[in-house]
Copies of this chain bind each other. A is one copy, B any other.
Amino acid sequence: MIIIGELINSTRKAIKRAIDEQDVAFIQDLAVKQEEAGADYIDVNAGAYVHEEGKHLIWLVETVQAVVSKPLTLDSPDPKALEAAMKVHKGVPMINSISAEKERYNQVMPLVKESGAQVIALCMSDDGMPETADERLEVAKRLLSDLDKDGIDLTNVFLDPLIKPVSVNGEYGPQALDAIERIAVLGSGAHITSGLSNISFGLPHRALLNQAFIVLAMGRGMDSAIVDPLDKKKMSLVKAVEVILNLDPYAMNYLKASRAGRLI
């Protein structure tokens, strides 16, 4: 399971404050904690700064890379901000995100191609957000076909089926899980990821719903998630699922996590 740590996001109050005050220690502490908790990528987002996104994204990249060795996920729909951040990022980053929206695709794709970056591809087109598994699958196929034609290695692609809240429509859960399975069985080589906490929007005990959803989604073929890696229970469940699905031969990682006191 490829874990993308989501906590350094300027839409969160504590992060906005830290960026405003250039609080290096706060950001670095959160970056290190996420890496220690098992994040494979650290997402950085400065989207709260409409006119200064690039500047703040650069600051986040430099601040975080000073203390962690894992690559970052540069989280912006703005090609200019992405390009600026990529220039200072050491090593190959992940880009979050591209989509099947024509303008966004055409602007972000060249950045992906030049850099050989990993890229999150949202299953969203100019027709809007998908509702059903069918619609997600259709956009996913189009993205895979276009990215392949444009010379992108599909093993660098992380398709995001876009999870919607079950509180809005009870069918959004089954439709999302069906979409994940149907994308997985395409066997394209692309990963499947998701900012899954949307599933629980509007309901109490959101962490509980998110934990249940990540397990269900892994059972249907999702192999990455954009999550809070400091949720110890969720990360423990991920390790347990890897054992049950035989993705962790001889339970080596699970036993290591157990010995390190990481399982609850």
Q: Say yes or no: is A67 at the interface (Cβ < 8 Å to chain B).
A: no
- The yes or no answer to A236 lying at the interface (CB within 8 A) is yes
Instruction: List residues of chain B with CB within 8 A of the CB of A218.
Output: 216
Interface centre among A173, A205, A244, A246 (most CB of B within 10 A): A244
Among B177, B204, B237, B249, contact of A211 (Cβ-Cβ < 8 Å): B237
Contact: A246 with B203, CB < 8 Å? no
- With a cutoff of 8 Å between Cβ atoms, the chain B residues found around residue A167 in the complex are 251
A255-B204 in contact (CB<8A) = yes
Q: Does A225 contact B (CB under 8 A)?
A: no
Cβ-closest chain B residue relative to A250: B170
* CB pair A244 B205 closer than 8 Å: no
With contacts A205-B263, A216-B241, A258-B205 known, is A173 near B236, CB below 8 A? Answer: no
Q: Which residue of B lies closest to A173 (CB)?
A: B244
For the complex, give the distance between the alpha carbons of A31 and B208 in Å.
27
Q: A208 touches which one: B173, B216, B237, B246 (CB < 8 A)?
A: B237
A245 within 8 A of B: yes
A82 CB to closest chain B CB, in angstroms?
A: 33
- Residues of A66-95 whose CB lies within 8 A of B: none
Q: Is the CB of B205 within 8 A of A251?
A: no
- Assembly of this chain: how many copies? 2
Task: Report if A32 contacts B (CB, 8 A).
Answer: no
Tell me the count of chain A residues lying within 8 A, CB to CB, of chain B. 38
Question: Are B170 and A246 neighbours in the complex by a CB distance under 8 Å?
Answer: yes
Given known contacts A216-B219, A258-B204, A166 and B244 CB-to-CB distance under 8 angstroms? yes
Determine whether the beta carbon of B246 is less than 8 Å from that of A171. yes
Q: How far is the CA of A233 from the CA of B233 in the complex (A)?
A: 10
**A243: contacting residue among B171, B203, B244, CB under 8 A:** B203
Within 8 A of B (CB), among A183-222: 199, 203-205, 208-209, 211-213, 215-216, 218-220
Residues of B within 8 A of A244 (CB): 166, 173, 177, 199, 209, 212-213, 216
- Chain B residues with Cβ below 8 Å from A50 are none
Q: Using a CB–CB distance below 8 Å, which chain A residues touch chain B?
A: 166-167, 170-171, 173-174, 177, 199, 203-205, 208-209, 211-213, 215-216, 218-220, 233, 236-237, 240-241, 243-246, 249-251, 254-255, 258, 263-264
